[in-house]
Amino acid sequence: MAAILEVKYYNSFWLKKIKTLTGSGAGSAGANRSVTNQDQVNKALITVNPSFASTTAGQGSEVIIQNGTTGEQFTGYIFQLISNTTFILNEAPLFDIEIGNNTCAFGGIVNFAGVPQNYISTPESDWFIEEARIRGGYNNTNIDYGVRAYAVDENTQGEIRDNALIYSGIYNSRTGVNNTNQFPVGSEITKAVDPAYGSIQKLYAEDSNLIIFQEDKVSRALIDKDAIYSAEGGGTVTSSNLVIGVVQPYGGEYGISTEPESFAVYGYRKYFTDRKRNAVLRLSMDGIEEISRYGMTDYFRDSLSTLSSTSKIVGGYDLHTKKYDISLLYSGQFAPISNDDYDTLSFDESVKGWTSFYTYAPDFIASLKNKFYSFKKGGIWQHYNNAGDYSTFYNVASPSKVTFIFNPKVSMVKVFKTINYEGSEGWEATSITTSQNQGVPITQYVAPNGSAALQAQLFSNQFINKEDKYFANINNNTPQQRGAIVFGNSMTGVRGFFSTVEMSLTGTNATQSQKELFAVSTEYVESSY
């Protein structure tokens, strides 16, 4: 059965005015114009001083009259132009007009009710008709719709396609023709992706390709080219008149879930998260790789799996330190009420690992001209500004902490006796623990001032400076345990397979000066037990 399609024909006409109605631009205000108001009932007959007669005013032109005494201003338009010195306004000003104490200015056309029927000048030379076809016959007695056909779509409702792309006409920068608002339904202007992989969440243009991020898949669409595949399976890219060519999926069942905010790009590397697979991913020249497996597999497995449907993941690239920063907002709030509501951490390509956690939860992350910015509650904050507010985010200061593990000879129970570090003074060992023992926190180094201070230093639990390194004994304060014969400060150091140490900066050391920590070492012996 044949289908019936309603088709109509159309032609496009453009009516242009090639000069102003009266042949010049807007007039300027004259301080010496004399204006008289002869009719205060409805419309107003205005006579302008002949020495300042306007040659720019026409029917529909804007008129601005200002009272030189009170400063009151009236704005109207010319209802009828009698001469270049006399005209009728559409309405009368509400204030009395004093001769010689007012200004009058003329602007462009603001009312086209009488245009062009009653305008002054030669009407034949002011208007120009341009149409879509070169020989359309617009000067003929009758003009038809032309030869261009279009389909009549009676369905005026919009259509949402979560898995398809559509493109418009182009903008020609050389001719200035802009067809970006045209979507001809008779042309193949759409390209669909596999709906089994969920909706399209983000598009990223890279060179002559379009990267398509779906919930469960990442693909690449060829732009202005197509791919030809041989019988052996090899492919060749060739030029084509297709705007969107073949869609080529990347290897691996990875997507961006519903977190397009996690996307960040630097060079040829694209970073994003896939919460369904508990993975943080990098798309580069070698394909998609899980960067969350670099020492953080368990963390991201546990953290991403606990995210709810309202949670947010914000990502961005830090051009200052060349790191990918990501913030997990568990509550879905861009303003967490506590540190338990978010985790912010960074990935460094140079070490292939996650280097640090941060105590800030941004709404958005961006970099510009080697500067790193984050946005919070409508404000923008610059990081690394060296303004004496180290470890301070959004006007809230937090102590800097470095946590690490001593674990030589992993199968041997050890006694960790001492600890030393290389770096700036001011660091403290706020926590020293093992699976069996805990040590007394070690305070920062204080330079002795006099013999009394030096003597007190010998009996205090603090770092001591020796040859530009800082040393301290590890004192045990473990409570007595079942079966323990020696415990607490009667022991030397702390005993266990490994020791977890937290170094931190507090007070003014944390915020008012830059502190460095190069290396931390320990002296240990095999446990006598």
3-state DSSP call for residue 409? coil
* Residue 158 zone, left/alpha/beta (φ > 0; ψ -120 to 50; rest): beta
Q: Mean of the pLDDT values across residues 347-364?
A: 90
Of residues 527 and 264, more confidently modeled: 264
Domain borders along the chain are: 7-16+128-151, 35-124, 164-249, 260-398, 402-526
* Beta strand pairing call for 209-214 and 218-229: antiparallel
Q: From CA 111, how far away is CA 76, in angstroms rounded?
A: 10
- Residue 263's nearest CA partner among 332, 324, 219 is 324
Confidence of residue 216 (pLDDT cuts 50, 70, 90): very high
pLDDT band at 50; cut points 50, 70, 90: low
Q: Give me the percent of the chain exceeding a pLDDT of 70.
A: 69
Contacts of 175 (CB under 8 A, 6+ apart): none
Strands (E), 11-94: 13-17, 35-37, 44-48, 61-67, 73-81, 86-89
The residues that bridge with 73 in the sheet, in sequence order, are 66
How buried is 508 (Cβ within 10 angstroms: 0-12 exposed, 13-18 middle, 19+ buried)?
exposed
More confident residue, 348 or 24: 348
pLDDT at 31: 37
Burial class (CB within 10 angstroms; exposed 0-12, middle 13-18, buried 19+) of 15: exposed
**Lowest-pLDDT range of 80-89, 187-196, 306-315:** 80-89
CA distance 230 to 29: 76
* Averaged pLDDT, 30-57: 59
Looking at per-residue pLDDT, the higher value among 114 and 219 belongs to 219
**What local confidence, expressed as pLDDT, does residue 149 receive?**
59
Q: What's the Cα-to-Cα distance from 413 to each of 166, 489, 490, 499, 521, rounded to whole Å?
A: 66, 19, 19, 11, 18
In percent, the amount of the chain with pLDDT more than 90 equals 24
Rounded Cα distance, 245 and 228, in Å:
11
**pLDDT above 60 for 232:** no
What pLDDT was estimated at residue 79? 84
- What average pLDDT does this structure show over 255-274? 94
- For residue 175, count CB atoms less than 10 angstroms from its CB and return exposed for 0-12, middle for 13-18, buried for 19 or more: exposed
Tell me the average pLDDT across 72-94: 83
User: Could you tell me which residue, 470 or 449, shows the higher pLDDT?
Assistant: 470
- Most confident option among 19-23, 26-30, 461-465: 461-465
The sheet with strand 323-329 has its strands ordered as 312-318, 323-329, 342-348, 353-358
- Which is higher by pLDDT, 15 or 207? 207
> What mean pLDDT comes out for the span 414-436?
89
- Residue that the structure tokens 């029917």 belong to: 59
**Does residue 37 surpass a pLDDT of 80?**
no
| Top-ranked range on mean pLDDT: pick from 17-21, 79-83, 275-279 | 275-279
Confirm if 513 and 392 have CB atoms less than 8 A apart: no
The mean pLDDT value for 490-508 works out to 84
pLDDT of res. 479: 75
Beta strands 164-166 and 102-109, pairing class: unpaired
pLDDT, position 270 = 95
Instruction: Give CA–CA dist 501/441, Å, rounded.
Output: 10
Average pLDDT estimate for 515-524: 90
For 83-87, 164-168, 285-289, 483-487, which range has the lowest pLDDT when averaged over its residues? 483-487
Helix (H) or strand (E) holding 166: strand 164-166
Amino acid at 7: V
**What does DSSP say about strands 312-318 and 323-329: parallel, antiparallel, or unpaired?**
antiparallel
pLDDT at residue 306 tops 70: yes
Q: Strand, coil or helix: what is 124?
A: helix
Contact 406, 501 (CB under 8 A): yes
Identify the H or E element spanning 293.
none
For the stretch 377-424, pLDDT in tens is: 888 888 887 766 777 888 787 778 889 899 988 889 888 998 999 988
In contact, 445 and 454? CB cutoff 8 Å? no
Residue 317 predicted with pLDDT over 80:
yes
Spatial separation of the C-alpha atoms in residues 180 and 169, rounded to whole Å: 5
User: For residue 297, what pLDDT is reported?
Assistant: 92
Q: List, as one string, the DSSP characters of 485-511.
A: SS-GGGSBSEEES-EEEEEEE-THHHH
Find the farthest-apart pair of alpha carbons in the chain and give their distance in angstroms, rounded. 117
Q: Which residue has the higher pLDDT, 38 or 352?
A: 352
256, 274 Cβ separation under 8 angstroms: yes
Contact between 260 and 201 under an 8 Å Cβ cutoff? The reply is yes
Mean pLDDT of 477-501: 76
CA 47/CA 38 separation, integer angstroms: 9
Contacts of 201 (CB under 8 A, 6+ apart): 213, 214, 215, 255, 256, 257, 258, 259, 260
